[in-house]
């Protein structure tokens, strides 16, 4: 049984002496959302967030396991934090270290073994128990909580909060689904995030309304496989992501909807209809294919063929002609030949992407891909990636240039670098700079695109 120390809990601390937490977020948008919810859970326990690590009493690393050497980067950061902890201890000041997210889930007890300075290791499914874990850690117990929770963590988290004096952003993420049942042979997500779980409709509508009431105008629905979301409506009828989008579109004050990341196998008719019918569903879709070779797709366990993906894209574009496509690609998957790679290049030319992410294959321990034969030489992977990225960049730049002269709605999100300048996002997720001194953050204004830079667009306010 853990013995609590005499250290006062946040509710007992004198005013102005609240503990401070610094959360460093690695990786995907899901982790950004999770970091916000962890901050909410800690706020309910008396913590305030800080953007300055040196001011923090608790540093929490919310980790990602997708990229190569992800775990080693975390251990490197922990080594630096260990020295800070020693210095604080010499001053008689508290300094706690926590590791959350997918590296925490994958490494578990190994983190505590390799870095004893860590107080708490907590997985993506259990971060609602973070305040209790910190209490145990203050009592001298090193806490590792990476079990898949039986309870619904979202039911145990406090409502999303607005920091006093600091308005919530006009855009927000909303996690609707977690985990993945697809088991692509290159991917660790099923092992770190678990099986696919969908949040209930009523819970999502309630959280969405609270976000909109706090000033949010654009919601991005998140999931490791977001279009696998499913649930029941009030009458007990089975519904999917398309139905959820229709319901969210009814919320007064909500102006825009997006969702990510999708799997081609879960793009059903109702979801395509939502793209056709809902103007507030932005015309930008991230739909990863990973490769253009059927042989490699089969080895990846993607369970669709390249031509099926192309036909799906054609159906989506027929429903929403102005839609822009984004994707993910892996080059150099084990066994990939020159012919396989050329098939990927051909698919990219046929689809014509507005944006894409591409990477060299790197094996992840514990995934089936790591045990496949015929791994591709690193030099070959490097050369193929350079060719693919050159083609993708050419397409991205052409898409940006095609915006010049167009008039579009722009949601203003933050101040720009120059006086009177504001920055917003186009319907196609591009960053747009505009001089709009008479407008304010949260407004949706009409602008005319005047120029396209390497990473953003420039605009003027449209007349009339």
Detail the residues annotated as belonging to a binding site. 28, 64, 102, 180, 184, 187
Residues 424, 429, 431, 435, CA torsion sign: negative
Token pair listed for 234: 């009030």
- Residue pair 335/186 in contact (Cβ under 8 Å)? The answer is no
**Exposure string (b/e) for 196-222, b if CB count within 10 Å is 16 or more?**
bbbbebeebeebbbebbebebbbbbbb
How crowded is residue 450: how many other Cβ atoms within 10 Å of its Cβ? 14
- Alpha carbon distance 49, 22 (integer Å): 6
Directed axis angle between helix 130-138 and helix 29-43, to 10°? 60
Secondary structure percentages of the chain, helix, strand, coil, to 5: 35, 20, 40
Binding-site positions for [4Fe-4S] cluster:
28, 64, 102, 180, 184, 187
Q: Among 182, 186, 183, 191, which residue's Cα sits nearest to residue 227?
A: 182
Q: Among 300, 239, 304, which residue's Cα sits nearest to residue 274?
A: 239
DSSP 50: -
């Amino acid at each position: 049984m853990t013995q609590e120390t005499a250290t006062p809990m946040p509710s007992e601390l004198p005013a102005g002496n609240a503990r401070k937490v610094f959360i460093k977020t690695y990786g995907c948008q899901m982790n950004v959302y999770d970091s916000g919810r962890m901050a909410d859970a800690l706020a309910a326990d008396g913590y305030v967030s800080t953007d300055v690590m040196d001011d923090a009493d608790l540093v929490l690393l919310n980790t990602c396991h997708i990229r190569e050497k992800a775990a080693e980067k975390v251990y490197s950061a922990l080594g630096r934090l260990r020295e800070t902890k020693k210095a604080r201890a010499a001053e008689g000041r508290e300094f706690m270290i926590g590791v959350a997210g997918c590296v925490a889930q994958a490494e578990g007890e190994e983190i505590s073994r390799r870095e004893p300075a860590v107080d708490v290791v907590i997985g993506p499914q259990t971060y609602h128990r973070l305040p209790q874990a910190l209490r145990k850690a203050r009592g001298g117990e090193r806490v590792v909580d990476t079990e898949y929770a039986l309870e619904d963590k979202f039911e145990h988290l406090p409502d999303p909060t607005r920091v006093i004096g600091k308005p919530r952003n006009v855009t927000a993420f909303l996690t609707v689904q977690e985990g993945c049942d697809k088991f692509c042979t290159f991917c660790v997500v099923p092992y770190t995030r678990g099986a696919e779980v969908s949040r209930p409709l009523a819970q999502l509508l309630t959280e969405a309304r609270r976000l909109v009431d706090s000033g949010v105008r654009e919601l991005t629905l998140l999931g490791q496989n977001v279009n696998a979301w499913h649930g029941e409506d009030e009458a007990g009828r089975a519904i999917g992501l398309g139905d959820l989008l229709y319901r969210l579109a009814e919320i007064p004050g909500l102006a825009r909807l997006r969702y990510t990341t999708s799997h081609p196998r879960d793009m059903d008719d109702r979801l395509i209809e939502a793209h056709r019918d809902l103007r507030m569903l932005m015309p930008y879709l991230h739909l990863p294919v990973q490769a253009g070779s059927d042989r490699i797709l089969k080895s990846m366990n993607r369970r669709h063929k390249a031509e099926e993906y192309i036909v799906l894209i054609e159906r989506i574009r027929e429903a929403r002609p102005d839609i822009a496509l984004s994707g993910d690609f892996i080059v150099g998957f084990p066994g990939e030949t020159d012919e396989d790679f050329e098939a990927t290049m051909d698919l990219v030319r046929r689809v014509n992407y507005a944006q894409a992410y591409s990477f060299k294959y790197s094996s992840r321990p514990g995934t089936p891909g790591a045990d496949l034969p015929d791994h591709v030489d690193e030099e070959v992977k490097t050369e193929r990636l350079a060719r693919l990225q050159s083609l993708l960049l050419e397409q991205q730049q052409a898409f940006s240039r095609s915006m010049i002269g167009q008039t579009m709605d722009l949601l203003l999100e933050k101040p720009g670098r120059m006086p009177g300048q504001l920055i917003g996002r186009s319907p196609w997720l591009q960053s747009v700079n505009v001089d709009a001194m008479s407008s304010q953050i949260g407004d949706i204004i009409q602008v005319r695109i005047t120029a396209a830079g390497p990473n953003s667009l420039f605009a003027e306010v449209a007349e009339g």
